[in-house]
Structure 1
Amino acid sequence: MDSSEVAELIEVWWLQIKVRFDVKKLNKQTNYAAFLVFKLDRPENLERVSASVTFGREITDSKDSRYFVFLDKERISGEEGRFPQRRDDSWMEINLGEFYNDLGNDGDLKICIWEKNTDNCKCGLFVRAIELRPVDCSSDA
């Protein structure tokens, strides 16, 4: 690990990370992506966790507003969800979702990552940051 501050998941039965951003501090009329920056060290029971990125409304557990992210798993054919990528600085990152900051007055951006299966203890996750980055959506066409 480097010398920057990180949060370590030592041993828990319920994983939940909630973050709220004030979008007024972001550039207006800009598309953004939210990335979880993390490392794994002997992880347990973190293969498949849920994530939700909502903009201007409350986080819900509804199936329509959530999806799976795979922190400890390589991409497997047939699996639906988001998978991590290795960064040049040896950390991993996973795209948690995208949003459009129109005029900066649509409310807060809310991000939630959770794994609520209490049958298995979870450990081995180091979280460095959740980064918001402008993205160019014009190449999606």
Structure 2
Amino acid sequence: MDLCSLPEGCMSHIISFTSPKDACRSSAISYIFQWESDSDAVWDKFLPSDYSEILSRSVSPVEFSSKKELYFRLCDSILIDDGKISFCLERSSGKKCYMLSSRELCIIWVDTPMYWQWISLPESRFSEVAELLDVCWLEIKGKIDARMLSRKTNYVAYAVLKFQPHTYGFDRWPASLSVKLGGEESGHTVILKPNTNRLSSTQTESSGGYGAEVLRARNDGWMEIEMGEFFNDEGDEGEVEMSLMHLQGGQWKKGLIVEGIEIRPRA
């Protein structure tokens, strides 16, 4: 069958049932495919259904001349909600990703100057990040409504942080990281090794086994550690609750810098 003989809009309708990655590939086949795969009808399907509401929360206007241009603009992330949250789309699938800034998190004693301070760093997407000065009780929690996330998607939450050269107090007792949605909880305990950017004595609670994890370097100048994962079914299970806690031993701690918690689909 000659594809050029298909009714107008039929090919773009078919392409809209694929993926952003496949649509980009199909545009290389021929001029007809390129014209159809670049159409607003295709890329409107790849954008989240609530993209207009998300754009209304943007700190700065998002300019675009086509739905495809908007899609890739959102893949680069935008700041929403007075700059306290970052939003973007996963490039290959169009799934939603969020980062909650340290201002959006609940950090115990964060507004007490002797324990924490707010600083600005050029490598952060947010105007401020939280730097730990000295505490013996470290408790960081974040929440996000599951309805804000993509449905039928496996998500992972990551703590995004870094350590100052003078960091101390993290290498003896383990920190607990967890993620909870509805009745399901995922998490593990780790002993932070900031000087070597490693985590040791990692106990995965689901398996009961031990292994080693690495504080992974990101391409934005930060490090990340997985907190836990969850499956967002229909988005009707309430809030996703995430926590990083370092409470055992009563050791005083210093030098941690928290940018936020990122929630993105499992790769």
Give TM-score, length-normalised by structure 1: 0.80
Give 1:1-141 correspondences, 5 Å limit.
1-2=121-122, 4=126, 5-41=128-164, 42-47=166-171, 48-57=174-183, 66-71=187-192, 72=194, 73-74=197-198, 80=211, 82-136=213-267
Q: Structure 1: any 5+ residue segments left out of the alignment?
A: 60-64, 137-141
Aligned residue for 2:198, secondary structure, equals: coil
Give distance in 1, aligned partners of 2:261 and 2:218. Answer: 14
Q: Which has the larger radius of gyration?
A: 2
If asked which structure has higher relative contact order (CA below 8 Å, sep 6+), I would say 1
- Structure 2 unaligned residues grouped into runs of 5+: 1-120, 203-209
Measured in 2, the distance between the counterparts of 1:84 and 1:29 equals: 28
Name whichever structure is richer in helix by fraction. 2
Q: Which has the higher strand share?
A: 1
Identical-residue share of aligned pairs (%): 37
3-state DSSP class of the match of 2:242?
Answer: strand
Contact 1:31-1:135 within 8 A present in 2 as well: yes
* Counterpart for residue 92 of structure 2: none
Q: Take 1:76 and 1:117, find their aligned partners in 2: how far apart are those partners?
A: 16
CA distance in 2, matches of 1:84, 1:31: 21
Q: 1:20: Cα distance to partner?
A: 1.2
Distance 1:90 1:34 in 2: 18
Quick one: structure 1 residues 57 and 7, their matched pair in 2 at CA, closer, same or farther if it must change by over 3 Å?
farther
Q: What SS does structure 1 have at the residue aligned with 2:221?
A: coil
Give how far 1:118 is off.
Answer: 4.8
TM-score scaled to structure 2, two decimals? Answer: 0.44
| Distance of 1:20 and 1:35 partners within structure 2 | 13
